Amino acid sequence: MAVVSTPTTLTRALSAMDNAEVLRIRNDFPVLNQTVNGRPLIYLDSGATSQNPLSVIEAEQEFYEQRNAAVHRGAHHLAVEATEVFEDARQTVADFVGAAYEEIVWTSNATEGLNVISYALSNAALWAAQGRGDARLRDLALGPGDEIVVTEMEHHANLIPWQELAYRTGATLRHIPLDDAGVLRMDEAAEIVGERTRLLAFTHASNVLGTINPVSDLVTLARRAGALVVLDACQSAPHLALDVKQLDVDFAVFSGHKMLGPTGVGVLYGKQELLDVLPPVQTGGSMITTVTMERAEYLPAPQRFEAGTQKISQAVALAAAVNYLTETGIDRVHRWESGLGQRMVAGLEAIDGIRVLGPAAGQDRIGLAAFDVAGVHAHDVGQFLDARGIAVRVGHHCAQPLHRRLGLTATTRASAYLYNTTDDVDEFLDAVSGVRAYFRA
Amino acid sequence: MSLDQLYQQIILDHSKARHGSGLAETAAPDGASTGQSHQLNPVCGDEVTLRVAVDHGTVTQLAWDGAGCSISMASASVLSELAEGMTVDELRSVIGNFREVLRSRGKIPADPEILGDAAAFEGVARYAARVKCAMISWVAAEDALNQAA
């Protein structure tokens, strides 16, 4: 699909977002217009799940009111219309991340996307062992002596599927360690990613540290080793311009609900030549060409990985979310959120007894900050903030090994999105500055 | 409900001056039978290791070590103070009452006659996410009693 540059989009591309625009944006998000514990809600937990603009909620409702039908089957009018909007949604998402239409597979969430890759790869080993598939498939089969490499900062969803893949195939799981500041040890990475490495999985942006990892350096290491690259784009796709072709990753996953879309839909990107060769993970309806009582032939991607009735209304609503981000300008969103992230870190570092995880103020980070409050458990911090209407995440953020590496069990995380103002951040900082006194720390 | 109703003074006090804390350095009384339990809340990382010593049907010591939020640490401290000197049956009954109050979502008021200082945790019942924090040491005590008895 061609991108049409209208005078409006051109102007927007040049102008920075400001609080006035954010307040207009906020009007599009009904859930944000409420009070919590007598205070206006300040939602700083978008890293866990984002809120939905009216256009997304209406897209899902409109689908059910006007077009609901099974897709890819049936010759009737509704079925045709449902199939059209469902596949248009795929194109919208593909355009958003620079992928081809056939390379976008719907999943339930990013976790499922990672598990699909993991199981498709172990199925490749099973198929190869039984002489199924061709030489390209045998190239993808992992076995004893092969290595899978992750990093120490991964979300559990980008760690456990690889632990299990290693277990199923006999491959070995290794990881790139972090330094004390929570930065990837690239010197060690160059040693660890070697000729035995068959797959390198890492996060684009850390859900705890806020770091944006050096994708191209890591991809270069993987290419040198002949390894596949899996990118966890959960914290990047919603917040910055992601181009999977430019990054040259083999697979990427992200979730709809973290990018203004509904829950229940996620995206798996895979290079077409890989997706078409890998065995399916779930089998059944909608993903076959010919079925006999003995065996079946499978469709190419994306249908190959979309067995059964899909999340149709959710995909349609996710496309509306992508349109919302595109119309606002994802680069503008990224710059605005980076500013909020910097404001958080600078403010937090100025409060006595606060230790911010990840890059220091002034260094690149996405719009989130996780921190430890000396003498106060994260749960208590979260409760204290909630009493002021401020929603944050507390706990290990599904990254236990990372917390253990930093000598912590639980932290508090504030994560911003395009609907947060600098006032939100200032209110949050003001509240945090009162935490230690309240709990006598 | 206000923050101060949740974090009552008793809770803030006990979260700082922790009664019975220091299991590793505390020897069990001679002649008592003991039971020990380790409980972990994977959601927030709250962790408690707790040992009860029982002598002729009476709890003579409840010692623990732990890490976690103020609610979980204070509730272990209050429990330790409350339990020592009770019979095993009394303690089991108090644990049952505490659980009932905390799981009631605020419908069952805490009776200070039964729960003593632990009645201060009444407000926690309103916060479903925090009930496990208040319960963790009590669950450990129940498990430890089963082993000691």
Least Cα distance to A237 among A356, A117, A109 occurs for: A109
Cβ of A379 within 8 Å of Cβ of B3? The answer is no
Give the per-residue pLDDT at A341: 98
Mean pLDDT of A362-386: 96
Q: How confident is the model at residue A289 (pLDDT cuts 50, 70, 90)?
A: very high
Residue A184 CA to residue A201 CA, distance in Å, equals 13
Mean pLDDT of chain B, nearest integer: 94
Across the interface, which of B3, B15, B133 has its CB nearest the CB of A387? B3
**A380: nearest CA in chain B?**
B69
Cβ of A379 within 8 Å of Cβ of B15? The answer is no
Residue A288 CA to residue B54 CA, distance in Å, equals 66
Residue A105 CA to residue A306 CA, distance in Å, equals 7
Least Cα distance to A146 among A223, A221, A198, A224 occurs for: A198
The identity of residue A147, as a single letter, is: E
Residue A9 has pLDDT above 60, yes or no: no
Mean pLDDT of A53-65: 98
- Where do the domains of chain A lie? 8-53+329-438, 67-326
**Residues of A with Cβ-Cβ distance to B70 under 8 angstroms:** 376-377, 380, 439
Give the CA count within 13 Å in the CB-facing half-sphere of A108: 8
Mean pLDDT of chain A, nearest integer: 95
CA of B31, closest CA in chain A: separation in Å? 37
**Residues of A with Cβ-Cβ distance to B130 under 8 angstroms:** 379, 383
- Where do the domains of chain B lie? 3-148
Cβ of A439 within 8 Å of Cβ of B6? The answer is no
Mean pLDDT of A48-64: 98
Give the per-residue pLDDT at A75: 87
Residue A113 CA to residue A301 CA, distance in Å, equals 14
**Residues of B with Cβ-Cβ distance to A387 under 8 angstroms:** 2-3
Cβ of B46 within 8 Å of Cβ of A379? The answer is yes
Give tens-digit pLDDT for A171-218: 999 999 999 888 999 999 999 999 999 999 999 999 999 999 999 999
Residue A196 CA to residue A363 CA, distance in Å, equals 34
CA of B70, closest CA in chain A: separation in Å? 7
A438 and B CB contact within 8 Å: yes
Sheet with A411-415, strands from edge to edge, namely A354-356, A368-373, A411-415, A393-395
**Residues of B with Cβ-Cβ distance to A410 under 8 angstroms:** 44-45
Q: How confident is the model at residue B2 (pLDDT cuts 50, 70, 90)?
A: confident
Give the per-residue pLDDT at A11: 56
**Residues of B with Cβ-Cβ distance to A438 under 8 angstroms:** 3, 7
Give the per-residue pLDDT at B42: 82
Residue B66 CA to residue B139 CA, distance in Å, equals 14
A126 and B CB contact within 8 Å: no
Residue B72 CA to residue A378 CA, distance in Å, equals 12
CA of B12, closest CA in chain A: separation in Å? 7
Beta strands in A66-143 (DSSP E): 104-107
Question: Hey, what CATH topology would domain A67-326 get?
Answer: Aspartate Aminotransferase; domain 2 (3.40.640)
Cβ of A383 within 8 Å of Cβ of B2? The answer is no
ipTM, two decimals: 0.90
Give tens-digit pLDDT for B84-114: 999 999 999 999 999 999 999 999 999 999 9
Q: What residues of A are labeled active site?
A: 398
Across the interface, which of B3, B47, B69 has its CB nearest the CB of A379? B69
Cβ of B3 within 8 Å of Cβ of A376? The answer is no
Residue A52 CA to residue A56 CA, distance in Å, equals 6
Cβ of B2 within 8 Å of Cβ of A378? The answer is no
For chains A and B, count residue pairs whose Cβ atoms are closer than 8 Å.
46
Give the per-residue pLDDT at B93: 97
**Residues of B with Cβ-Cβ distance to A383 under 8 angstroms:** 3, 6-7, 127, 130
Cβ of A376 within 8 Å of Cβ of B12? The answer is no
Cβ of B44 within 8 Å of Cβ of A439? The answer is no
What's the start-to-end Cα distance of chain A, in Å? 57
Question: Hey, what CATH topology would domain A8-53+329-438 get?
Answer: Aspartate Aminotransferase, domain 1 (3.90.1150)
- Six token digits for residue B93: 């009954």
Interface subset of A 371-410, CB within 8 angstroms of B: 376-380, 383-384, 387, 394-396, 403, 409-410
Q: What percent of chain A has pLDDT over 90?
A: 94
Q: How confident is the model at residue A2 (pLDDT cuts 50, 70, 90)?
A: very low
Which pTM value belongs to this model? 0.93
Q: What percent of chain A has pLDDT over 70?
A: 97
Across the interface, which of A377, A387, A396 has its CB nearest the CB of B69? A377
Residue A1 has pLDDT above 50, yes or no: no
Interface subset of B 91-130, CB within 8 angstroms of A: 127, 130
Q: Of all helices (H) and strands (E), which one includes residue A146? A: none
B12 and A CB contact within 8 Å: yes
B46 and A CB contact within 8 Å: yes
Question: Hey, what CATH topology would domain B3-148 get?
Answer: Sufe protein. Chain: A (3.90.1010)
**B1: nearest CA in chain A?**
A37
Cβ of A379 within 8 Å of Cβ of B2? The answer is no
Q: Of all helices (H) and strands (E), which one includes residue A315? A: helix A312-328
Cβ of B12 within 8 Å of Cβ of A439? The answer is yes
A278 and B CB contact within 8 Å: no
Cβ of A377 within 8 Å of Cβ of B130? The answer is no
